[in-house]
Every structure is written in structure tokens, then in C-alpha cells.
Amino acid sequence: MVPNSELEKKAIAMGYKAPQKLEDFIREETEQHYRHPWFTDEVENLISMLQITSYFVDHKARLLLEEPSGKNMIIKLASMAYRPLARLRFAKGYAGFLFEEPLFNIARKLTSGSSV
């Protein structure tokens, strides 16, 4: 955000706390669940959908999980199965009934340490 801009002033008025020093930017999370006070439910759902589907529309699991293991094979198969739905959601911008979000969060915890 540009300091002293109209956007920053509005965001601060709506509850945004701008980072004051370099270390504060560590808390500016982009992939974890963080809801800015000015996000509507619709915008929040759209952001979640985009974050999830972006992992699957371009074969990231196949490209990043090279080590042969049972866990990686399951992740690759699940990714291939979900890819058509991810591409449809991404193309249409449909974020309703995001049943895959809790599944994605579980998978991310199970794969902590890998790039997916």
C-alpha cells in the first residue's frame, strides 16, 4: 500500500494497521487465512477460491513433488482429479460452496515441508 495515499487512509479508517517497521511486514500474510476488516464475505470467498485453485490449474503437484513416495502419489492423484473443477472455478470466478477449502487446509498441514 502506498503510504499517505487515499487508499491507505481509507484502509486505516476501516481497521487496517499499517506496518511500522520492516519486521512488521512478516505478519502481512498472503496465503494464510487473514481477513481484512473491509473484505465482504463475497470478496473473502473469492480470494480463498483463487488461492486454492491456483495450486491446481497448472500441475504444480506433479512439477514440485518429484520424490517418489506414497504420500506424494496420493497428492498427485488427488490433484489430477480436482484439476478440472479448479480450472472451472478459476475460469468462471465461482467461489460458492467451497467444500475443498477444509480439505486443502488439511492437505497443506500434511505436506508441511514440501512446496505444495
Q: Which residues contact 58 (CB under 8 A, 6 or more apart)?
A: none
Instruction: Specify the pLDDT at position 32.
Output: 59
CA–CA dist 11, 14 (Å, integer)? 5
Alpha-carbon gap, residue 22 to 68, rounded angstroms: 40
- Give 112's strand partners: 114
pLDDT digit string, tens, across residues 54-88: 888 887 777 777 788 888 888 888 888 989 998 99
49, 94 in Cβ contact below 8 A? Answer: yes
Q: What is the pLDDT of residues 1-46, one digit of tens each?
A: 677 888 888 878 877 777 788 777 776 655 556 667 777 888 888 8
Q: How many CB atoms lie within 10 A of CB 97?
A: 8
